[in-house]
Amino acid sequence: MNWVLYALLGMVFFSGMNLIFKRLTADLKPNVLLLFIFIFGALFYLIDSVYTKTSLNLNYKLVLLLLAAAFLSYLGNLFYVKSLSLSPNPGHSAAINSLQIILITIGAVFLFGSEITIKNLIGIMLGIIAIILLSL
């Protein structure tokens, strides 16, 4: 499969996850919800890694990057699920969260030498306009 199909599948599954999260936050605090999500998720990743016979070739730099990513994931998920629980419509919260593409796109230019085009900038501006319209 190519990256676009993977991205579309991720979008579908994350959409379902967000709707379930919104329902679960009626009964669970976001930190408790995420605790169980990550425990169960770790089990799924362990099964997948064993099934695919994935080797763990790690060095200290990779471990530090993994630790940083885990910490950012913890904070990002916690604040995101809190916003889902408080928002009138989980789509509004997801829309604002999707503006991470702006930070990722700009960061990729500096970190990985990716290019940014006028088309990309127009897309970023349309995303900002969409969020403003949803927020009104």
Question: Is the model's pLDDT at 95 over the cut of 90?
Answer: no
Averaged over 12-31, what is the pLDDT?
Answer: 95
Distance of CA 6 to the CA centre of its chain: 14
Assess if residue 125 is contained within a domain. no
Question: Is the model's pLDDT at 10 over the cut of 80?
Answer: yes
Closest CA to 80 of 90, 70, 88: 90
Domain count, the chain: 1
Q: If you average pLDDT over every residue of the chain, what do you get? A: 92
Q: Which residue is it, tokens 């809190």?
A: 82
Assess if residue 129 is contained within a domain. no
Assess if residue 43 is contained within a domain. yes
Question: Is the model's pLDDT at 136 over the cut of 80?
Answer: no
Assess if residue 106 is contained within a domain. no
Question: Is the model's pLDDT at 91 over the cut of 90?
Answer: no
Alpha-carbon distance of 113 to 90, in angstroms, equals: 34
Percent of the chain with pLDDT over 70: 100
* pLDDT tens-digit readout, 42-59: 999 999 999 999 988 899
Assess if residue 18 is contained within a domain. yes
Which has the minimum average pLDDT: 4-18, 31-45, 75-89, 120-134? 120-134
Assess if residue 76 is contained within a domain. yes
Averaged over 94-112, what is the pLDDT?
Answer: 90
Assess if residue 112 is contained within a domain. no
Assess if residue 70 is contained within a domain. yes
Give the domain extent around 32. Answer: 3-97
* pLDDT tens-digit readout, 50-90: 999 998 889 999 999 999 999 999 999 999 999 999 998 89
